[in-house]
Amino acid sequence: MNPENIDPKFLAQFKKLEEKYDSMGQDVSSYLDGLLYSKYLHYADYIQLETLLSLQRPRTDIPDELIFIIYHQITELYFKLVNWELKQVADCKQVTDVFLQEKVSRLVRYFDNLIHSYDVMTKGMEMEQFMHFRMALLPASGFQSFQFRLIEIYCTDLYNLVDAKYRESLSETPSIEILFEHLYWKHGAQELSSGKKTLTLKQFEEKYTRKLLRNANMYSTKNLWQVVKKLAAKQELSTELKTNLRDFDKIFNVDWQLVHYRTASKYLDKKPEVLEATGGTNWHKYLPPRFQKKMFFPDLWSKEEVENWGKF
Ligand code: HEM
């Protein structure tokens, strides 16, 4: 081929490639050989479809258990996206108001999707089938979602996750370790009868305490709330950003909790009897947001809104 006939665009691309590989001491022509022999990318390989579809392993032969597993997996994938955004916020060197608006509105969208799809759980399983397969899942519970606990740690100071009843009794500058011991979910997961830690909690702690504590330490200065406060110390926050933050606080800590709680009630509240949950918490008292009173960005809410948390 006459070099004069080569498309200048192609030559420019080749030059860039050469520069890229030269800078790493690599020979670009060997990589072009690799390109010559490599296979075309297939959709299924790219998204790892076979692996994905092999990850559903029901514990029973009851058909609706598959819905239960897949919807939990879908939720965990959304949690992964949420954490992915939050990590980028924590690691961003030049945070701006617009950047935070974009990130937080993504978080809101992810949870909006979860809430709108929640009737897959609420309405989509046969009660009798649920009653049977749930017994094969003991003592596992969504309570043990590591990613859910990470979202909380990535979003706010540990103090805001401490059980509301214990916050007042803490010393002025409690260590991360002390705060960690009083997190709302640790207090919530106590056996109905004895007040001892549930097996579900013990197993969760055994598997994740070190990882959670490491993250709690790392994110104490770069969680979303800290990043927002640092920006607010330099400039006034836009109304859009404050609205996004409030929306996210509400959608995570109230709206999702409520659709989840209503689903738990539908399946477990067999009046006059209330069934014990697989995780063994006193879930009627533990799950409702009006009791948890957990919020990520407390300064963005009025006194009245805090008092009525979970009731609006
Ligand atoms: C029929 C469906 C469901 C029922 C009956 C149910 C029930 C419960 C109950 C009773 C608890 C309290 C802990 C316990 O004692 O087990 C709990 C906690 C939890 N569940 Fe579910 N759940 C359902 C679906 C889901 C789904 C689809 C997810 C998605 C991952 C999920 C995630 C969670 C989380 C993150 C917690 C901890 C909440 C907190 O600490 O505030 N649950 N669930």
List the chain domain ranges: 3-38, 64-307
Q: Specify whether domain 64-307 bears CATH 1.10.3470.
A: no
- In the chain, the percentage of residues whose pLDDT exceeds 90 is 88
143 C-beta closer than 6 A to ligand 1? yes
Closest by Cα among 121, 33, 110 to 76 = 110
Residue carrying the six token digits 């836009």:
238
For residues 100 and 228, the answer to whether their CB atoms sit within 8 Å is yes
145 C-beta closer than 6 A to ligand 1? yes
Backbone angles phi, psi at 299, to 5 degrees: -70, -15
The reported pTM is 0.94
For residues 280 and 191, the answer to whether their CB atoms sit within 8 Å is yes
Q: What Å distances lie between residue 235 and 161, 205, 229, CA to CA?
A: 27, 40, 10
230 C-beta closer than 6 A to ligand 1? no
Query: What is d(CA 21, CA 49) in angstroms, rounded to the nearest whole number?
Result: 32
From 117-126, 134-143, 193-202, 238-247, the region with the lowest mean pLDDT: 193-202
Residue carrying the six token digits 């918490």:
281
Average pLDDT for 50-79: 98
Residues comprising the chain, all counted:
312
For residues 211 and 146, the answer to whether their CB atoms sit within 8 Å is yes
Determine the distance separating the centroid of ligand 1 and the alpha carbon of 260, expressed in angstroms: 7
Determine the distance separating the centroid of ligand 1 and the alpha carbon of 74, expressed in angstroms: 14
Burial code of 162-175, b = ≥16 C-beta within 10 A, e = fewer?
bbeeeeeeeeeebe
Per-residue pLDDT at 260 exceeds 70? yes
Beta-carbon count within 10 A of 95 CB: 16
Per-residue pLDDT at 251 exceeds 70? yes
Closest by Cα among 40, 85, 124 to 223 = 85
128, amino acid identity: E
Determine the distance separating the centroid of ligand 1 and the alpha carbon of 61, expressed in angstroms: 22
Q: Using CA positions, which residue lies closest to atom 5 of ligand 1?
A: 264
Segment holding 274, helix H or strand E: strand 273-274
Q: Using CA positions, which residue lies closest to atom 22 of ligand 1?
A: 264
Summarised one tens digit per residue, pLDDT across range 94-104 is 999 999 999 99
User: Is 205 in a helix, a strand, or coil?
Assistant: helix
283 C-beta closer than 6 A to ligand 1? yes
Determine the distance separating the centroid of ligand 1 and the alpha carbon of 172, expressed in angstroms: 33
Summarised one tens digit per residue, pLDDT across range 204-230 is 999 999 999 999 999 999 999 999 999
Query: What is d(CA 44, CA 52) in angstroms, rounded to the nearest whole number?
Result: 10
183 C-beta closer than 6 A to ligand 1? no
141 C-beta closer than 6 A to ligand 1? yes
Token representation of residue 225: 């709330």
Ligand 1 atom at minimal distance to the Cα of residue 282? 15
Determine the distance separating the centroid of ligand 1 and the alpha carbon of 18, expressed in angstroms: 54
State residue 192's pLDDT score.
63
83 C-beta closer than 6 A to ligand 1? no
Summarised one tens digit per residue, pLDDT across range 34-61 is 999 999 999 999 999 999 999 999 999 9
191 pLDDT tier (thresholds 50, 70, 90):
confident
Higher pLDDT, 312 or 29: 29
